[in-house]
Structure 1
């Protein structure tokens, strides 16, 4: 391809060469004419022609030369015109293709020769034509693919002219159409094959054969030869629905008959010989017409037996109805809504059976909500059991990690119960929205209200128990302030009875204790009104045990330490009040009395007593029979002198 600049240079060179060539051409022509005219003149002279003949012949030669040159000029003119026409044609085609391709049209220079212009447009047209051919071939392939897919789907192909290059929008629309048809073909093919497999399965279950030609085509052709049009897919869908409905109805009827057969066998309490045939039917029969016919025959036989034993079955149905009511959480008022009465046992039996069928349907509809409610009630009962066990003080001894397990279980309950309450409320709301006329009730109340009332009662009982424990604590404090506290044996002494924990230097001897018994002048008299009987002391111990249990009422392992600290502070306050009251009465110091008593040397085998034991023995000797002195609760925190104070 030559650039315009190169073309102009070539044109200038041609013009110069043409000028030079024309001068030399004329000289050559003159020379040739001169040579040939000389030869002719020589021949004419030899022939002896006169001047007239020679002149005539010269004119003939000139005329011939002129005609020949004119013909040549005409031929060149024709050639020139043909080149100009070619230029016009190529230029027109070139501009049309450029317009189709959306390209800018290039033009020739005015200084170019005709042949140069013709060559320029010829090359440009060939270039754009090749580009157009590539595009059109691709469009033709896409169009053929679109037509093939449309034929397989039974749809009309889009209209598109292939004589000219389509626009970019048309090409994009064609490609989008091809993609849609390809996806739709895959979808319809998969749907057809799936429906075909299901239809074959339904026919195998029903043990039937296709009845129409189209059904045979659908069953026998895995890859359909017919177009998968919308109408065809609709027909396949209808065949599928037809056989599916037949199978569903057959299965429903078969299942219904089998359930009734099993129910009647249980209610009639037939022996194995009577039920063996029916059990074989239940295991072997399917959903074919022959199987359903066999099941119906067996059902009619059991119904005949049921009519004979209608009165006995009524009693059994009553028990079954009671169990169903319990499963559905019916209240007494709801149970009273069903009050059948009939003289004929068969009619009464039918009424009970109808009621049980209704309850079974209701049970199925409320299964999710009632199952959630049942789980909630189980966890709630566990929570109440933990609350009840928290009042037992024995759980703090020999527990072996039970308190930790109890605390973990309590946390789990506190986490699971609110979650179940939300799930119950959601399930009940769904049921109530579907059955606006008959809301779901448990024990005659709405489920949410019942759970709220249950929680309110639980909180009220806890509050009453808390108030009762506070009252018992106050009563115990008043009794201890008035009568004194019950002596509590240290744990070490309980484990090893009769063994003193005091050192030998601090153990009072038996003689010293007996000397205290004889020193009536130095001991104050014990007021007989302060003594209590064994029965009263037992009552006080029971009250004190109850108060002690109520003092450790924390419901969880985390409150155990707090309750022990509270009990210790209460005991310290009680001891302080008793000590202050004793000081106000100027009670003699028994330690001093014991110290001033003569001490005898210890004998072999003598019994050594603690100060509290010796004081108790002394008081028992002073009190009437059946009376027992009350000593204060000993504590290792108090000095030895205070351990001998009388309460």
Structure 2
């Protein structure tokens, strides 16, 4: 209704305008003198122009409508494409009869706007991942994982690709770090050897940044191989230079070269590069030439070192004589070489088993000290003016008794290991070490047994004329005059011991004067037995027997009494005096002392105070 109402008004207006225009044109043409045929022709042309104008307007409108229809068709196609890319089902809207084309187009655009955004985001994500993958593939040399654009990969597939690329990135970073470390080592070795890159790959390794170096499997293998080759070359060169330096040092020592010259040479030729190696070789040639000129002096020096090393490894005379060149008066370069090789051999033998030799020396020192202490134990005057010497000797005995078995156990273990590994017997002074230790213990045991037998034989009586001379433990001890003197010497109080009597002499005098003349004591019993034995010996020899002790004679004296210190009563203080006096002889007596604990008890009970 609106269209028809509006169109009628337009038609009326257009008709009026056309009519008014044609009337005005007709009048104007008449004034201009245009004939009627021309006027009709002009009116016909105007009608044709009007038709063409309407036709153009309609054509243009139809063209725009067609364009919009094409846009609608493209929207439908895009909807189908989005459906395929996203792998989702998108329903295309239907065109209704009462719907304008522009509205239909707008609804289609609104429908696919969300899907279009999803496709755009997924496609951008895929492109970033593909770019990342291409970079890693170039650096690592791995195969690229292709992705199709239609349909686009799902989000799960893109996430898996991302995780895979993250693993590749971690591997690339790890290899890049390895490359940096190896690059530093390679540069350092090249600097030490003073060499430069020899090929393109070495140039790339020494000059590339970690981000630029392609850490492919092939390049990493070549890099490791290059590092290994350079390291081996450096070690070989370094070993050669070290051997040359050691050889040069020995030559310098043989030649007694000036220390300042040595230091200047070493300072001028540091490291282990070829230039240093060549310089050391030249110096060795110079020293060898001087050495050949003074060969006899060098042989003598090496022989001195060999002799010292013989002493260290404890070689016997036979083992030393095996090196016959040592005793020859031949001084040539070959002789010197043989001596040096032999010295190197025994030096290596000593260094390889140095711990065993040190233990043997330690055991030898302990053994000598033990023998020395045993000899001191039998000295008659060992209790005189000792000044703490007995205590020190006792500590030394305990230390030896504790350490000697441990050291011998270590020696046995080390020697057993040596003999098991080498199949050779470890010798000292040409004798098996283990057998040597056993022989020393057996010899010591035999010597002690012989001494004990000799002591017992000396104590055995030669004649039984008057009485048995070995009927009591005390009687079995040494009864000779020398033994009696030694006994009296041992029983004498030490001069450095502070006694309550004021002096040792006064103590002995006081003790002797308070003895009962008729009371038997340990000392008088010993003297009586010795006197009887001497009398028996005199009778056997046909001489007059004379008793040293005669208690029934007229010259018997009454014992003196020192009233200032000792009393006739057996008080506690007097017992302390006796114990103090005898502690120096009995309490600290050696194992072979005359006074035993039994005698000590007799003395305490027998003396009258």
Q: Does 1:93 align with 2:85?
A: yes
Q: Does 1:353 align with 2:302?
A: no
Match of residue 354, structure 2, among 371, 382, 391: 371
Asked if structure 1 preserves the Cα contact closer than 8 Å seen for 2:75 and 2:109, the reply is yes
User: CA–CA distance in 1 between the matches of 2:435 and 2:145?
Assistant: 77
User: CA–CA distance in 1 between the matches of 2:373 and 2:439?
Assistant: 18
Asked if structure 2 preserves the Cα contact closer than 8 Å seen for 1:333 and 1:444, the reply is no
Aligned to 1:581: none
SS of structure 2 residue aligned to 1:330: coil
User: CA–CA distance in 1 between the matches of 2:141 and 2:561?
Assistant: 130
| Superposed displacement of residue 90, structure 1 | 1.7
> Pairwise mapping of residues 425-504 of structure 1 onto structure 2 (< 5 A)?
428=418, 439=424, 441-443=426-428, 450-457=432-439, 460=442, 480-481=472-473, 483=475, 489=491, 491=493, 496-499=504-507
Aligned to 2:288: 299
Match of residue 189, structure 2, among 186, 195, 199: 195
Change (3 A) 1:261 1:499: closer
Aligned to 1:398: 388
User: CA–CA distance in 2 between the matches of 1:238 and 1:631?
Assistant: 86
The superposition leaves residues 75-128 of structure 1 with CA deviations (integer Å, 9 ceiling, x where unpaired) of: 775554333212112222223xxxxxxxxx586699999966764543134135
Asked if structure 2 preserves the Cα contact closer than 8 Å seen for 1:383 and 1:413, the reply is yes
| Superposed displacement of residue 372, structure 1 | 0.9
User: CA–CA distance in 2 between the matches of 1:245 and 1:640?
Assistant: 87
Change (3 A) 1:280 1:330: same
User: CA–CA distance in 2 between the matches of 1:337 and 1:354?
Assistant: 17
Aligned to 1:532: 534
Change (3 A) 1:422 1:32: farther
Asked if structure 2 preserves the Cα contact closer than 8 Å seen for 1:331 and 1:443, the reply is yes
Match of residue 171, structure 1, among 154, 165, 174: 165
SS of structure 1 residue aligned to 2:324: coil
Asked if structure 1 preserves the Cα contact closer than 8 Å seen for 2:310 and 2:320, the reply is yes
Match of residue 326, structure 1, among 311, 315, 319: 311
User: CA–CA distance in 2 between the matches of 1:173 and 1:603?
Assistant: 110
User: CA–CA distance in 2 between the matches of 1:601 and 1:236?
Assistant: 105
Q: TM-score, with normalisation over the residues of structure 1?
A: 0.51
Q: Does 1:28 align with 2:11?
A: no
User: CA–CA distance in 1 between the matches of 2:373 and 2:282?
Assistant: 64
User: CA–CA distance in 1 between the matches of 2:60 and 2:292?
Assistant: 129
> Pairwise mapping of residues 557-596 of structure 1 onto structure 2 (< 5 A)?
none
User: CA–CA distance in 2 between the matches of 1:463 and 1:313?
Assistant: 49
User: CA–CA distance in 1 between the matches of 2:162 and 2:170?
Assistant: 12
SS of structure 2 residue aligned to 1:190: helix
Change (3 A) 1:93 1:530: same
User: CA–CA distance in 2 between the matches of 1:341 and 1:325?
Assistant: 12
Asked which structure has the greater RCO (Cα within 8 Å, sep 6+), the reply is 1
Unaligned runs of 5+ residues in structure 1 are: 1-26, 48-59, 96-104, 201-209, 266-274, 518-525, 537-589, 611-629
The superposition leaves residues 256-284 of structure 1 with CA deviations (integer Å, 9 ceiling, x where unpaired) of: 25524533x4xxxxxxxxx77x7776554
> Pairwise mapping of residues 71-150 of structure 1 onto structure 2 (< 5 A)?
78-95=70-87, 119-127=110-118, 129-134=120-125, 136-137=127-128, 140-141=131-132, 143-144=134-135, 147=138, 150=139
Asked if structure 2 preserves the Cα contact closer than 8 Å seen for 1:373 and 1:424, the reply is yes
